[in-house]
Amino acid sequence: MRETMDKNQLRIVFFGTPEFAVESLDALVKNGFNIVGVVTAPDKIAGRGKHLSQSAVKQYALANNLPVLQPEKLKSPEFVEQLRSLDAQLFIVIAFRMLPEVVWTMPPLGTFNLHGSLLPRYRGAAPINRAVMAGETETGVTTFFLKHEIDTGDVLKKEKIEIGPNENAGSVHDRLMAIGAKLTVETVENIIAGTLTPMPQSELEKDVPACDAPKIFKNDCRIDWTTGAAAIHNHVRGLAPYPAAWSMLKAGDSDAGTVKILDTRVCDNGFGLSPGSMVLRDKKVYAGTADGRSLEILMLQPAGKRAMPADAFMRGLHLDDDKALLLY
């Protein structure tokens, strides 16, 4: 069957929701694969106008005349029957909910996922953010067959990239999105040709220790100024541009609300600043950390306002040079 099947004969159902998944879906369509169904999240009410918001994947699918399914419950008999009626041989999952076994075991050629890390590293919901937050110098994308435990299935293909010392998660995301689309197409082509040898992650773990990348919550984003400059810098860039690292801000004895820190650089000079002290000096903004080095703060966003250069924010407070604010 695999030897004689071509890309037009292979019936594929694609599962995905955000922009990260659109790039791969677009690559499959442009390479002539037969997408017989697209499964994405239900529309959500969003914005002040309470309008229904469609996922990025749904918008792409509708624009390209692809059938769309939006189940509330993935185990519902109606949805499962809809999937069966599509008679697909392969399912592809990218940035979607965890699938029940009745779904991922359905296609005869299996169900594979594209994940934004080099498995078994950074299994979970936030692999890109967590890798940058941890100060990793490389990451990548992996395709693997689904199994019961999340992100633990047999690996099919990988591609690696380097992470720059000042690169943020948004930049890494965009690069992995493009590389992942290429890897998705290659994986499907190899499945058709029967040239893949799936590798159990238990074998990979002998050389590469596994680690998790859990979902990020608001408190995970708060900056701990009692840690070192490099750790805080990695924390900031791993959360930029979204959801963004943040701190409380105090001016004198008064709380001045929260501020998101969006871009920083590590300075060898500590300028005698205590951890969390933030000053404007020579038209640059510095904050003290716990290891004797400071961070130059380049971009920040006060609560309820747009992102701005840090020096413009400080000048707007009409502070003299070396008049310190406190981040905590």
Sheet containing 11-16, strands listed edge to edge, beginning at the edge strand earlier in sequence: 68-69, 34-39, 11-16, 90-94, 111-115, 138-145, 155-162
Secondary structure (3-state) at 20? helix
- pLDDT confidence of 4, banded at 50, 70, 90? low
Q: What pLDDT shows up at residue 252?
A: 77
The token pair that represents 189 in the structure block: 């082509």
Mean pLDDT confidence for 242-258: 89
Model confidence at 1, pLDDT cuts 50, 70, 90, reads very low
What's the rounded mean pLDDT across residues 123-151?
Answer: 97
The residue that leads in pLDDT, 4 or 30, is 30
289 pLDDT above the threshold of 80? yes
State the Cα–Cα distance between residues 154 and 148, nearest whole angstrom: 11
What does 102-147 look like in DSSP terms, one character per residue?
A: HHHT-STT-EEEEESS-TTSSBSS-HHHHHHHTT-SEEEEEEEE--
From the list 203, 238, 222, the residue with the least C-alpha distance to 131 is 238
Helices marked H in the chain: 19-30, 56-63, 77-85, 101-104, 127-133, 169-193, 201-204, 229-238, 310-316
The pLDDT, as a whole number, for residue 320 is 67
Q: Which domains does the chain have, with CATH numbers?
A: 11-204 (3.40.50.170), 218-327 (3.10.25.10)
Name the band, by pLDDT with cuts 50, 70 and 90, for residue 255: confident
Output the pLDDT for position 49: 66
- In this predicted model, what pLDDT tens digit does every residue of 41-75 receive, in sequence order? 999 987 666 788 999 999 999 999 999 999 999 99
Instruction: Give the model's pLDDT for residue 126.
Output: 98
| Model confidence band, residue 7 (pLDDT cutoffs 50, 70, 90) | confident
CA distance 134 to 219: 17
pLDDT 10s digits, 115-135: 999 999 999 999 999 999 999
- Which residue, 79, 143, 68, is CA-closest to 111? 143
DSSP secondary structure letters along 202-240: HHHTTTS---B-PPP-GGGGB--TTS-HHHHHHHHHHTT
% the chain with pLDDT above 70: 97
User: Which residues lie closer than 8 Å to 290 by C-beta, 6 or more apart?
Assistant: 225, 226, 227, 228, 275
Q: Is the pLDDT of residue 2 over 50?
A: no
Per this entry, what is the length of the chain? Answer: 328
pLDDT mean over 276-286: 94
Residue 96, pLDDT > 50, answer: yes
Average confidence (pLDDT) over 15-41 = 98
Tell me the average pLDDT across 175-202.
97
The per-type count for the chain, helices as H runs and strands as E runs, is: 9, 16
> What's the token pair of residue 104?
């991922």
pLDDT of 13 over the 70 cut: yes
Of 1-10, 106-115, 229-238, 285-294, the one with minimum mean pLDDT is: 1-10
